[in-house]
Amino acid sequence: MAEAKAAVPALLRTINERAVLDVIRDSAPISRAELARRTGISKPTVSLALRTLLEDGLVRETSQEPDRPHFGAVYYEAEPDAAAVLGVDFGARAIRAALCDLSGETRASGERLSRGPVARRIDALAGLKDALLAEAALPEGLLDRAVVGVPAVVDPGDGHVSDADIPGLDSGDLRARLEERLGVPVTLENDVNLAALGAARQGAARGEDDFAFLLVDEGLGAAVVLGGSLHRGANGAAGELDAVRRGRAEEADPCAGAIAAYAAELTGSDEAIAEAVLAETARRIALHALPLAATLDLPLVVLGGSVGGDAALLGPIARLLEDWLVFPPRLETSALGDTAVLAGALAAGVDATLEHVFERRVRA
């Protein structure tokens, strides 16, 4: 019983410290008084949390913003060099990666062409990781983990990969192979899920608790966020719209290859063909947005990918959904473009690293 009582104050301290750190990350530079106001925690308790976070090297004192009065107050910001995170978009054509610090600031990014066997692609990623660490002048020991987005279904329990768009990606234990080459813990996640997380953190879905991210590119996929959390489904396959295409006619396929084939069959002036392609692409995308919006009564659908991210499609798709639905969703194109997966990977990595840091402190 005594141990349980002793654990309660420790748990409360950890909760307070995490709350203070989260606000600092979102709103730095920030004073102690403002931290107390935003967290609802008393100033003495905020001071205790700040002292611990300073001692642990997670925050540091900084100067106030030049256009804000400070009245002698001390300001705080997250310590960027407390840890580093590697975010990866393990695509079929290219591997994109970015390195960020614990404040979420990207320190280096790059890409390598992705061809051949999976082992060769993993080697390319390992080389890219080393190059990014050198560019950012960060020691390898500072890298806490990697979050890797893959074009595949990822089991939310054991991280097993299936139904992959890259041949051989679902053969063997991909996570173990990546961890061996990268030298850090690896989290695997579906790439469209990460794109949705990126949109929620710094893109078109920021501030939205419920929305869908619909990606239309060479393939078709979706991610659903409900109550602020990704809905992965029982097998991690929620949003795998490529499976829906298998049972439907070609006239419902909005992906790049199908649209190119449709355009090749058209005759007429360039302007007339362009208008027809735009209208048909919008119709096909709307057919896939429709069940998402109707089933879940979503307020927002974010469109991304080389096809879906075309802003010219927003109006035609919106008009179709307005005709078909009593409560049509708002439509937005992904503001992050082809960096959406990376943005989500880095955000997930920073969150996981912060949890790791706090767990390590509690165990110590």
pLDDT, tens digit, 9 for 90 and up, residues 154-201:
988 888 999 888 999 988 899 999 999 999 999 999 999 999 999 999
In a domain, 210, yes or no: yes
In terms of domains, do 140 and 176 share one?
yes
Give yes or no for a contact between 23 and 38, defined as CB atoms under 8 angstroms apart: yes
Supply the pTM of this predicted model: 0.84
pLDDT tens digits, one per residue of 131-164: 999 999 988 889 999 999 999 999 888 889 998 8
- Bigger pLDDT: 181 vs 268: 181
Q: Write down which residue in 59, 78, 97 finishes a domain.
A: 78
In a domain, 152, yes or no: yes
φ/ψ of residue 43, rounded to 5: -60, -45
Give the range of the structural domain holding residue 44, as residue numbers without chain letter: 2-78
Return d(Cα 89, Cα 344) in angstroms, integer: 10
Model confidence at 5, pLDDT cuts 50, 70, 90, reads very low
What pLDDT sits at residue 6?
A: 47
Indicate whether 246 pLDDT > 90.
Answer: no
In a domain, 90, yes or no: yes
Centroid of chain to Cα 3: 39
In terms of domains, do 234 and 301 share one?
yes
Structural Rg of the chain based on CA atoms: 23
In terms of domains, do 90 and 165 share one?
yes
Give yes or no for a contact between 204 and 333, defined as CB atoms under 8 angstroms apart: yes
In a domain, 199, yes or no: no
In terms of domains, do 163 and 184 share one?
yes
In terms of domains, do 38 and 87 share one?
no
Q: How many CA atoms lie within 13 A of 213 on its CB side?
A: 35
In terms of domains, do 284 and 177 share one?
no
pLDDT tens digits, one per residue of 306-333: 999 999 999 999 999 999 999 999 999 9
- In the DSSP assignment, the letter for residue 21 is H
Tally of structural domains, the chain: 3
Percent of the chain with pLDDT over 70: 91
